[in-house]
Amino acid sequence: MKTKRKVVGIVFFAIAFSVWGWLFCSFREAHAVVFPAGGFEVYTLTDNEAGGFSTSELSVSDSLVAAHVNIRSGKAFPYAGMGFNLMSLNGRPVGFFDFSKYDSMAVVATAGRMRSITFRLLTDDPVYSKQGMYLSYRPLECSLPITNSYGEVKTPLSKFKTAEWWLASQGLENDDGLTYFYRTTLFEIYNGEGALRGIPDDIEVKQIRLWGVNRDFEKGMIFAVVLLCALLAVFVFFAVRKPCDKDLLKKQMSEAARLLKTTDKSIAEIAIAVGAKSTSKLERDFYKVHGKKVKDYRRKNV
């Protein structure tokens, strides 16, 4: 390979790998914002559908969602707070929200008397969920500590577990480990430990964001770097291999032709005599130079 082509090849691969590294570092992570500016419908969350009597009054602005809650007794675990309809974006219906694209969640929030707040993802279980029936959706829950001043709390999404009451209602004795994160419908925040029944309390949220590895992008980038490495290997092979000496090859094959005509040596012996690595190599080179197979050449020239 000529020196100029080698230089061009080296520059090309240097640029290609540099661009790959920049793209991988810049776009490997996936990010999403649920609030603010997420565009999702905010709704009042209470336990009324579960037979409870808790109340929640929402105050929504561009930068804050506040729920003034009053937890009262009922047939089920009492709860109240706020929810985000992940299937309604900017007032228009959309499909399921894919939480499986993300690994972690961070929330900037505060509460009044509570020591924790509970986060719930409702996912559409293909077996047990029925469209439009709120209590049939699979609830994945996680409680996090909270203070009476704004602070960011983070959690990996792996901490979200199916609520025990839902498993019991479906006749499941143990958590089956299924989540269906990719079929998320609703995201809810409600009271946790420290909520007092009959005494009003507040939950305020300023930000909800998600992040994680963009797995589809990562797979594509891995494929791209494997392809680049394969091309580099081919380039190196042709760059470092010794060029074939055509004059030497012609000289070897001329000697091979002479031996075929004037001696009864075997093809293997002739290959050794002319310096060919093997009989198959001799046959290929001989055909390349003379345009005839070794056996055919000997038969016609004996």
Higher per-residue confidence, 277 vs 81:
81
Question: According to the model, what pLDDT value does residue 98 have?
Answer: 93
Q: For 73-132, what is each residue's pLDDT tens digit?
A: 766 689 999 999 999 988 898 999 999 999 999 999 999 999 999 999 999 999 999 887
Q: What pLDDT was estimated at residue 301?
A: 75
Taking each helix axis from N to C terminus, what angle separates 267-274 and 246-262, rounded to the nearest 10 degrees? 140
HSE toward the beta carbon, residue 236, CA cutoff 13 A: 7
- Residue 112 vs residues 160, 200, 262: alpha-carbon distances, Å: 24, 9, 107
Residues above pLDDT 90, as percent of the chain: 46
Tell me how far apart the terminal alpha carbons of the chain are, to the nearest angstrom. 41
